[in-house]
Amino acid sequence: MNENIDRAPAGLPARTAALAILVEVLGRRRPLDETAATVLDAARLERRDGAFARALATTTLRRLGEIEAVMRHFVPKPPPGHRAGPTLEILLLGFCELLFLGVAPHAAVDAANRLARADAKAQHFKGLINAVLRRAAEEGPGLLAPEHAPRLDTPDWLWPRWVENFGEETATAIARAHLETPPLDLKLKREGDPCVSLLDGAELPGGVVRLRDAGRIEELAGFADGSWWVQDFAAGLPARLLGDVTGRTAIDLCAAPGGKTAQLASLGAHVVAVDRAPDRLTRVRENLARLKLAAQIVEADARDWRPETPALLVLLDAPCTATGTIRRHPDLPWIKSAADITHTSTLQAELLDAAAEMTAPGGTLLYAVCSLEPEEGIEQAESLLRRHADFRRAAIAPADVFGASELLTPAGDLRTLPCHWAEKGGMDGFYAARFRRI
């Protein structure tokens, strides 16, 4: 796997940026996308160098477990960070280049040496870096064990959970899906848009076009015209479960970055998009403007805000650990922990209680999370039913999801997994439950 980049080395500036990204993500647990955007904007790299820097950091995180396993063969005990600075991260990047990006050994080793010389602490470990990477260039590829990759690249706080919840075979399939670079899904504002013929992608149900090698999003056909927005196929399913929304008011809670708001608005709903993050709401407004769609934007914490009158349609896509999106965000397993599940599950319960208050009698409440964890999914749904006697589960039928019954649980909830539709490129992991207020 090469993250869709050319194998030729891109030079020291790109590697310097990749190192800065990796230090922030692994050392300070900052999200990859946010960090990469900040670092690459400051670095002002050429497009090719920027692509290489992002791919190098992303692949290192995607294959971190395998890289660490091979690296331990050469460096059983890495030097402590307080004395060695970014020595560990320099080694990780070097191993990634040698094992997964196919970079020429002399280029990868030389670049690592230069990165070490540029740091006041790491320069004292340049000899170690040089010797280890030279050995790894010769012996490292033979130490890789592809059959163990899914387990190695899944941290210990996640693997036992997935085995318990899904079984070892499915857990392995989920983890294997995370090793592949995911395709880019575009949700058409209008199905049958002529731009489909120019996008050169595979068409999925519901007006989704899937691209394998997308390039720059801003340069794709239909972007400037507002013909589509980026939204994984699975992420587009929850809004469909609200049924016919034409001319009806739909409250979209925790709405940013706005994919579901755009989806509902494109179907003719009057959307009230609620989110507490002003910067994320700015992105929602920008996307709606490009798409030439309208929605009422409300900056508020959904736990405190209430509409003037309850609505018949309420969608809550709640904050979560996002473990269903690891294939798109390979940093997540390494910057989150089981403690995050406890925090988010508490928040989700509070948000669900608020959403229940906003739902009018006879109305529909749709709860969704892009998480694989039961505490954030099925357990939230069951808990809501215990707390609110006036709500009933409204089972989702295969017809609601294009006949794909494998995406539904026996109870009638939506449960997509990254390994679903593997032959088509997979999909994000989502859970959704639909309720009616009586």
Q: Which residues belong to the active site?
A: 370
Q: Is the separation of the CB atoms in 320 and 254 below 8 Å?
A: no
| Burial of residue 403 (number of CB atoms within 10 Å: 0-12, 13-18, 19+) | exposed
d(CA 356, CA 61): 39
Retrieve residue 430's tokens: 């989502």
d(CA 350, CA 43): 41
Retrieve residue 375's tokens: 């505490």
Phi, then psi, of 55 in degrees rounded to 5: -65, -40
d(CA 337, CA 303): 25
Q: What is the largest CA-CA distance in the chain?
A: 71
